[in-house]
Structure formats: C-alpha cells, structure tokens
Chain A
Amino acid sequence: GENVEQHPSTLSVQEGDSAVIKCTYSDSASNYFPWYKQELGKRPQLIIDIRSNVGEKKDQRIAVTLNKTAKHFSLHITETQPEDSAVYFCAATFLSGGSYIPTFGRGTSLIVHP
C-alpha cells in the first residue's frame, strides 16, 4: 500500500517568515495530493491540492510543488501569520478497487510566533 512520510513534525517560525513542509510517497499510482489544515478540535480543511500532471500550484501565500520522479511534494507558506498556526496534513491519493483512497502523513504542527 501507499506510505506517506511528512516532515517536520513540528515547525516554529516568526511572523512574516516562510514555512515549508515536505512529504514523500511510495506508490507511483498516486495522482492527487491535497493539503489540509486542521485547527484544534475542528475538521481538516482543504487549503490547496495538486494533481500529478502539474508541477506547481499557487494560491496567494500558499503554494505546493510536486516532483513525480522523486515522489515528493511540498507545501510553502510565505509571509506567515499567527492565524496560520495549526496542524497541516499532506495526503497521497490513489485508486483502489474503484475508490480513491487517501493516505495521510502524520501531520506538522506549525506555530507562528507574533
């Protein structure tokens, strides 16, 4: 099955700095890679995603890059703000038995200090 590794587990930055979270996956059949932000006690919210036919995608302060050859993808947050503090999960999604199955990374706790 798919295996997703996510690093770092904790990331502490000063407001205004950039933050980068990296994930690797094992199954070359995975073709959809979403990133979720989860605040304490709340549901994960999709913040950005990328498909395997695209190398980079950007949405304001958030960007995601994908290297299919190396099987890794990264989340980049620029000009971080305290409200960016949350746990971020990456996922690699592949088709299995007619259903798309996501495998999540272990999460990164991002702390942005004012």
Chain B
Amino acid sequence: GAVVSQHPSRVICKSGTSVKIECRSLDFQATTMFWYRQFPKQSLMLMATSNEGSKATYEQGVEKDKFLINHASLTLSTLTVTSAHPEDSSFYICSASGLAGGPSGELFFGEGSRLTVL
C-alpha cells in the first residue's frame, strides 16, 4: 500500500513554544490530507481537511490560528501548534488520500506524533 510518513514521532516542548509536525506521502500524490487528534482510548477527532494549494477547512471548535495547517504540495502537509500549552498534549495523526487510493477515498495514515507540552 501507499506510504505516509509523519515526523516527529515524539516531541516534548515548553509551554509557549511552537511545534511543527510534517506529514509526507512518499509514493503518491495526496490531493487531500486530514489531521486528527486522538486522546487516550478515544476515537480519531478530525481537526481539519486540507487540499493542496488551498486553505484548510477546520472543524467546528478547532482554532485555526492555533493549529496552522499548510498543504503547499501534493506530498507535504504540515501542522504547526502555536504557543503550545499543556492541554494541547495529545497524539496527532495525519492521513492522506489521493491517486494511490483511486476514487474510493481510501486513506493512508502517518505514524502519529505524540506531543507533550510541559
């Protein structure tokens, strides 16, 4: 199957700093990328949907100024958590769909990034 790579897998930062997480599709063109947040033992909470070259569509309740999403190319999307606070600590996962999945919408997930804000 297609490969989606997400970095970093773990990051610890101080409160008030910004953290950038990258999501790359390694062997296909990802026309759409999704960013999820997952709390322990809970489901995937969709934060935003991004299409290459356009602004991301954020879900209700997600602060767009705090969670900056950029999808500048068909193989890379980034999520920047600005001025991070302890309540932003979570597991963030990206997923991508595109030509590799065909028109069915099959998703390919990144490995996830565990963010801990001290």
Q: Closest CB of chain B to A14's CB: distance in Å? A: 22
> How far does the alpha carbon of A108 sit from the alpha carbon of B79 in the complex, in Å?
28
- Neighbouring B residues of A87 by C-beta, 8 Å: 41
The answer to whether B97 has its CB under 8 Å from any CB of chain A is: yes
Q: Closest CB of chain B to A66's CB: distance in Å? A: 14
Known contacts A51-B104, A93-B104, A100-B32; A107 and B42 CB within 8 A of each other: yes
> How far does the alpha carbon of A107 sit from the alpha carbon of B41 in the complex, in Å?
9
Known contacts A41-B112, A42-B111; A34 and B106 CB within 8 A of each other: yes
The answer to whether B64 has its CB under 8 Å from any CB of chain A is: no
Known contacts A34-B107, A100-B105; A46 and B49 CB within 8 A of each other: no
Closest A residue by C-beta to B103: A100
Q: Convert B99-117 into 0s and 1s, putting 1 for each residue whose CB lies closer than 8 angstroms to a CB of A.
A: 0000111110111101000
Q: Convert B13-47 into 0s and 1s, putting 1 for each residue whose CB lies closer than 8 angstroms to a CB of A.
A: 00000000000000000011010000001111010
Chain A contacts to B: CB under 8 angstroms: 32, 34, 36, 41-46, 49, 51, 87, 89, 91, 93, 95, 98-107, 109
